[in-house]
Structure 1
Amino acid sequence: MKFIKTLLPGLFAVVTSGAALAQPAVIPGDYPDPSVTKVGDTYWASATTSNWFPAYPLLKSTDLVNWQTVGNIFNKVPDWADYYFWAPEITAENGKVYVYYTAHKKGGNLCVAVASADRPEGPYRDHGPLVGQSDGSIDGFPMRDETGKLYLIWKEDGNSVKQPTPIWAQPMNEERTALTGEKKELFRNTDTWEGNLVEGVSMIRHGDYFYAIYAGAGCCGTGCTYATGVARAKNLLGPWEKFSQNPILTDEGSWRCPGHGTVVEKDGRFFFLYHAYDKQTSVYTGRQALLKEFTFTADGWIKFLPATPVVAAAKPVSPRLNDSFAGKTLSHLWQWSVFKQPHFDVRKGALTLRAQPAKLGSAVAQRTLTGDYTVTTTVDRKQSAGQPGLAAIGDDDNALGISLDGSTLNVWRLERGKKTVVATQPVDPSRKLTLQLRAQQGHRFSFGYATDGKTFQTVTKEPINGAFLPPWDRAVRVGILAMGSAGEPSVFEDFVLQNTQP
C-alpha cells in the first residue's frame, strides 16, 4: 500500500535552512491535495482537478522532484458522478494500482469512490462509490491495522452543513469494491486551531504508533487558514491522541496555508508531499506541491525540519510553452470545464474548436505557473466562421478575454455570468491576426493584437482587475475559445505561453 514509500538512494543532501525556505514547488501550478506512490523505479503522483477535466493528472518522476505529466486517470466522467473531482489517493499493492477519489454523486452528495488499473498509466476501471454519507464523504485513504486488516479512512464533510467533521475508519474488502463491518470514529475537529474541520488524513505506522498527519481550518482562497497537525494511536481504531503542540506545519518562507499531502519514506528518513499557496502569486496560480522532511522525536511525535535537503533540485518553471498542434490530439496539459465537453479537432498543425451556445462558448485551457506571463494565439481567419478568442478563465461564469467578431476585436468581462464589453478595436479583415493576453501579479490583465505576428498593439488602455476570476478551490487558467452560433468553427495555429520567472 502507499502508506510506506521508498525514495531513490542519494536523492538528498544537506543545504541551508534559508535555501529550504525558499525552495520552489516540486510540482508548480494548481495541483492541490497531491498524492504519490512508487511502482518499480518510478514515482506516480496525482492531484485534485475539481471542475476542470480530464480528471486527475498522472505525473511521473524518478526523483520525486522533477515531474512529467503523462496522462489523466479519467478522460470520461464516471457514470455515477457529475463534478467536484477532489483528493485522489494513488496507491499500489500486489501488482495493482488503486485510486481512492472524491466526486459528487448525481442527485446526491460527495462520495469516496475507487478505481483500479493493472499499471499506473492506466487505463483505470472505475468501481464506483465506497461511501457517501448524507453530509458528504471525502478524502479517502487506505490503511491496514496492526493485524493486517484493510480499512478505508475518510472524512465526513460535516463542515458543509455547519457540523463537526469526524474522521472515520471502516473495514474494506481486498478487492477494494465495498466496505464491510462497522465504521468507527477516530477523531474530529476539537482544537481551536482546527477551526470548523479536520481533513486530508495521511497515515503511517512507525515504531509503537500509527500516525495521522492531517489538515485543519480553511483550505482555500485569499483568506485561507490551513495548517497541518498530527495525531497518534497504538491501534488503528484508537484511542487517538492529538499532539499538544499542533499545528506542526504552518506558514513558512514564501509559502502559506500548507496541508493535505502524502507521507514518503527512505531508510528512516521521512518526507511529506503537500500543497501550499505561493505568497506572491496567491490564489491565481493555486495550491502547489511541495516536499518537506520530518522526523520522529524522542517522545514519539512528529517534527518537521527547518531544512529539506534536495540534491536533484526542482527545475525552474519553463519560460515558454509553445503548442503548434502538431499531433493528432491535444496534449495532456489541456483542460476544460467538466460541465461543457468541447468539440475539437487537431490536424495539419491547427486546432479547430466549435462554438457552443454559452457565454464563454467552447474553451480549452492551461494552468498558469507564474504571476507574470504573456499568451498569444494566431487565428486562421480564412477557416474561422465563429468568434475565436483568448481568455483568462476562472470558471464557466467568470472570465476576461479578447475575441474577434467579423472585423472587430472585443475585449470583454464575464463576471457571475454577466458579460460586458470593455473595449473594441476594428481590424483589417484581410490581415493575419494574432491575439495577445498579458498578466501581471496574477490578476491584472491587458489585451492586444498583431497583424504581423510581432508588433502588438494594445486594445485596453489600463490593465483590467481579474481578482474575481478564481473560484474558492481553483486557480486561473488561460486558454483559447470559440464563441458564436452552435457548431461554428474557430481555427488556431498555435498557443504560446511565455512566463516571467518569479
Structure 2
Amino acid sequence: MLYLPKTSPALLLALSLLLGACQRATTSGGTPPAATAQTGAGAELPALSVVNPVLPGDFPDPSITKVGDTYWATATSSNWGPAFPLLHSTNLTDWQLVGHVFPQELPTWADYYFWAPEISQEGNKTYIYYTAHQKDGNLAVGIASADRPEGPYTDHGPLVAQPDGSIDGFPMRDENGQLYLIWKEDGNSVQQPTPIWAQRLNEEHTALVGEKKELFRNTAPWEGNLVEGVCMVKRDAYFYAFYAGNGCCGHGCTYGIGVARSKSLLGPWEKYEQNPILTKNEQWACPGHGTVFTRGQRWYMLHHAYDTRSFEFVGRQGVISEFSWTPDGWPAFKNSNPVPPRQANVAPRNLTDEFDQPTLLPSWQWPVQERPTVALRGGKLLLTAQPQHSGAVLGQHTTTADYTATTTLLSPAKLPAGTIAGIAAHGDPENTLALTVGNGKLQLWQLEKGRQKTLGEVKLPAAAALTLRLQAQNGSLFRFSWSPDNGRTWQHLPGLTAPINGAYLPPWDRGVRAGILAKGPASATVAFENFSLENQPTAAQATDK
C-alpha cells in the first residue's frame, strides 16, 4: 500500500483493496489477506513445500510479513537478550537470523518479558507491536518502527498498560479504513477473564485515541482461563480473528487455536462452533499464537508448537500450517492439526564459532537483565566475569533433544582468584548445570532455584588449554567431560559417568540454552578459543500441499 499518512482512512482502504495487499505477509502493504481473495489479484502459485519446524529452536509467538520479495519474521525472546530476533527468507523454509529489534539497549521503560512481537509493514515503514514488562509496573503493549525491516528501530514507548497487564498487540484497519490496535487484557494473571480489546490508533502509530471496545473473551470450555494471541484478517464480508486458548506452556500445556468472525471490526463477534480448529498431533503439541499469511491464493499460518520429542527443553518452535475455507466461510486446517503428510530427515542446525569475527554472532544470547561484557580479539572471546547468579552467560538455542556442545578455555590455571568459567546448560540465571575450571579445580555443579550444589570435582589438570564438553540426551539428561589434548581423549569426573538429571532447567516459557559462563569478580576476564554446538539429527515432519 502507498504510504499516505495524510490521506483519508476511506481512501486508504479503497487504495489498499485495489492493490490487493496482504495485511501480514504477502506484500508490503497493510491490508487484510481478503483483498487477494476478493479481487483475484493473487496468482495461483505452486504448492508450498516446507519442512517443519521452519524456525527450529525456541521461537514462540512468531509473526511474519513480506517486504518486496523477502519474508521477515520475529518471535518472543522473553528474558533472553537481545530482544526480538529478526529473520528473513525468500522461500519460507531457509531462514537467516540477521539481527534484533533491540540489539544493544532495551527500551528505557521496560525490563523483562519481551513477548509476542507483531511485525507489520505499512507503506515505507516497518512496525513492531510488542509486549514487555514496565519497570515498576505491569505488562504493556509497546511499539517500535524502522525505515527498513532489518532496522535500526526507534522505540515509541507503551501504547496501553492496564492494571492487570496488556499483551499481544495486533494492528488492524476496520471496514472504514480506521486503524485499530487489538490486544488482550491479561486477566488470567489475577484469576479473571481475558477480554480482547480494540481501540483506535493514530495514523502515526504512536498513541491510542477514543474509547476501547471489548470484542470477545474466554467463554468456551476448551478456552480454559484465557484467550490471547489474536491475529486478524479480512476475507469477503467478514473479519476473522484467529486466537489461542488455554494453557500455553510446559509439558502439561493445553493450547489450541480457535477462530471468530464478524462483519464489523467492533462486532458482534461469533465464535466458530467447531473450535478449536488447530490442535495437537503425535509430532506437534500445543499449537498456537501466530500470524496468518497468503501465498498466491493459498492460506497459511506461521505459529508455534512443541516438538513432542523435545518439548520444553528446546521450546516452542516456528511451524507453518496450511488451511482452506469451508463452503460456509470458516477456516479449516487439515485434520484439525499441523499434520504434514510425510517424514523427512532434516539436517540439524549446527554452529561452530572460532571467535574470529569482528562482532559477536547474532545467535548468541544472554539473560536480558544481565548483559555481559564481551570482546573479540586475536581469535579469542574475552568474557568479563559477573559475581551474581550463574555469572556472565552466553547461550545458544538448541534445536533437538540430543546435542553436544564443546568449548576450549585458555590458560585455565591463570584465572584470577575467585573466578570460575566453563560450559553450561542454562535455563535462566538461577537454574544452571555447569562444568567449570577455577580455584585450582575442575568442578561440576548445579544451580537450582538459586541454590548451588557441587556434584563432583578434581584437581585442575596441568594444561595450557582445556576443552570442555556437554552432551544432552532426551533434553533433560546431561553428561560432562573434559579433554587436555583438544578433544583427542575425553575424561569424566570420578563417579560421574551416569547422566545428570537437568529436568529442572527450563523456565515455564523458555527452552534450554547451551553455552559458556564466567563467574567471579567483575575485574576478571576469561579467554575462550571456540565454541561448537552439534544438534543430533532427528526425523522431522514436512508439509507438501
Same fold (TM over 0.5): yes
One-letter amino acid of the structure 1 residue matched with residue 89 of structure 2 = S
Q: Distance in 2 between matches of 1:119 and 1:276?
A: 29
Shift in Å, 1:317: 4.4
Q: Tell me the alpha carbon deviations over residues 302-325 of structure 1, each in whole angstroms, 9 at most, x when there is no partner.
A: 1112498999x9993435310000
Q: Distance in 1 between matches of 2:444 and 2:241?
A: 50
Q: How does 1:113-192 map to 2 (within 5 A)?
A: 113-192=142-221
- In structure 2, relative to structure 1, the CA distance for the partners of 1:368 and 1:275 (3 Å cut) is same
For 1:498, the equivalent position in structure 2 comes to 534
Q: How does 1:337-486 map to 2 (within 5 A)?
A: 337-381=367-411, 384-385=415-416, 386-454=419-487, 455-459=489-493, 460-486=496-522
Alignment check: 8 A CA contact 2:24 2:64 kept: no
Structure 2 spans left out of the alignment, 5+ residues: 2-21, 28-41, 539-545
Q: Secondary structure at the match of 1:457?
A: coil
One-letter amino acid of the structure 2 residue matched with residue 318 of structure 1 = P
Q: Tell me the alpha carbon deviations over residues 353-383 of structure 1, each in whole angstroms, 9 at most, x when there is no partner.
A: 1111113111111011111111110011166
Q: Which runs of 4+ in 1 moved over 4 A?
A: 7-12, 306-311
For 1:245, the equivalent position in structure 2 comes to 274
For 2:126, the equivalent position in structure 1 comes to 97
Shift in Å, 1:9: 7.1
Q: Tell me the alpha carbon deviations over residues 412-438 of structure 1, each in whole angstroms, 9 at most, x when there is no partner.
A: 010000000001122323342101111
Q: Distance in 1 between matches of 2:158 and 2:512?
A: 30
Q: Secondary structure at the match of 1:160?
A: helix
Q: Secondary structure at the match of 1:182?
A: strand
One-letter amino acid of the structure 2 residue matched with residue 358 of structure 1 = Q
Q: Distance in 2 between matches of 1:430 and 1:13?
A: 57
For 2:8, the equivalent position in structure 1 comes to none
For 1:38, the equivalent position in structure 2 comes to 66
Shift in Å, 1:252: 1.9
The answer to whether structure 1 residue 72 and structure 2 residue 100 are counterparts is yes
One-letter amino acid of the structure 1 residue matched with residue 47 of structure 2 = A
Alignment check: 8 A CA contact 1:384 1:491 kept: no
Alignment check: 8 A CA contact 2:406 2:467 kept: yes
Q: Secondary structure at the match of 1:445?
A: strand
Q: Secondary structure at the match of 2:164?
A: coil
Shift in Å, 1:406: 3.5
The answer to whether structure 1 residue 331 and structure 2 residue 361 are counterparts is yes
Alignment check: 8 A CA contact 2:411 2:465 kept: yes
Shift in Å, 1:65: 1.5
One-letter amino acid of the structure 1 residue matched with residue 534 of structure 2 = Q
- In structure 2, relative to structure 1, the CA distance for the partners of 1:38 and 1:309 (3 Å cut) is farther
One-letter amino acid of the structure 2 residue matched with residue 370 of structure 1 = T
Q: Tell me the alpha carbon deviations over residues 137-183 of structure 1, each in whole angstroms, 9 at most, x when there is no partner.
A: 00000000001100000000000000000000000001000000110
- In structure 2, relative to structure 1, the CA distance for the partners of 1:352 and 1:10 (3 Å cut) is farther
Alignment check: 8 A CA contact 1:276 1:288 kept: yes
Q: Distance in 2 between matches of 1:476 and 1:133?
A: 31
Aligned partner (choices 104, 112, 115) of residue 83 of structure 1: 112
Shift in Å, 1:193: 0.1
For 1:6, the equivalent position in structure 2 comes to 26
- In structure 2, relative to structure 1, the CA distance for the partners of 1:223 and 1:309 (3 Å cut) is closer
One-letter amino acid of the structure 1 residue matched with residue 183 of structure 2 = W
One-letter amino acid of the structure 2 residue matched with residue 283 of structure 1 = E
Shift in Å, 1:300: 1.3
Q: Distance in 2 between matches of 1:14 and 1:78?
A: 38
Alignment check: 8 A CA contact 2:283 2:307 kept: yes
Alignment check: 8 A CA contact 1:215 1:259 kept: yes
Q: Distance in 2 between matches of 1:423 and 1:310?
A: 45
For 2:138, the equivalent position in structure 1 comes to 109
Q: Distance in 1 between matches of 2:130 and 2:346?
A: 30
Deviates more, 1:376-385 or 1:334-343: 376-385
Q: Distance in 2 between matches of 1:426 and 1:177?
A: 59
Alignment check: 8 A CA contact 2:60 2:304 kept: yes
Q: TM-score, normalised by structure 1?
A: 0.95
Q: Distance in 1 between matches of 2:474 and 2:207?
A: 47
Q: Distance in 1 between matches of 2:387 and 2:440?
A: 21
Q: What percentage of residue pairs aligned between the two structures are identical?
A: 55
For 2:33, the equivalent position in structure 1 comes to none
One-letter amino acid of the structure 2 residue matched with residue 59 of structure 1 = L
Shift in Å, 1:344: 1.1
Alignment check: 8 A CA contact 2:184 2:196 kept: yes
Q: Secondary structure at the match of 2:188?
A: helix
Q: Tell me the alpha carbon deviations over residues 435-465 of structure 1, each in whole angstroms, 9 at most, x when there is no partner.
A: 1111000110111100001211122221110
- In structure 2, relative to structure 1, the CA distance for the partners of 1:425 and 1:63 (3 Å cut) is same
Deviates more, 1:339-348 or 1:210-219: 339-348
Q: Distance in 2 between matches of 1:77 and 1:137?
A: 19
How many aligned residue pairs are there? 495
Q: How does 1:207-246 map to 2 (within 5 A)?
A: 207-246=236-275
Q: TM-score, normalised by structure 2?
A: 0.88
Deviates more, 1:149-158 or 1:426-435: 426-435
Q: Distance in 1 between matches of 2:389 and 2:475?
A: 23
Alignment check: 8 A CA contact 1:11 1:63 kept: no
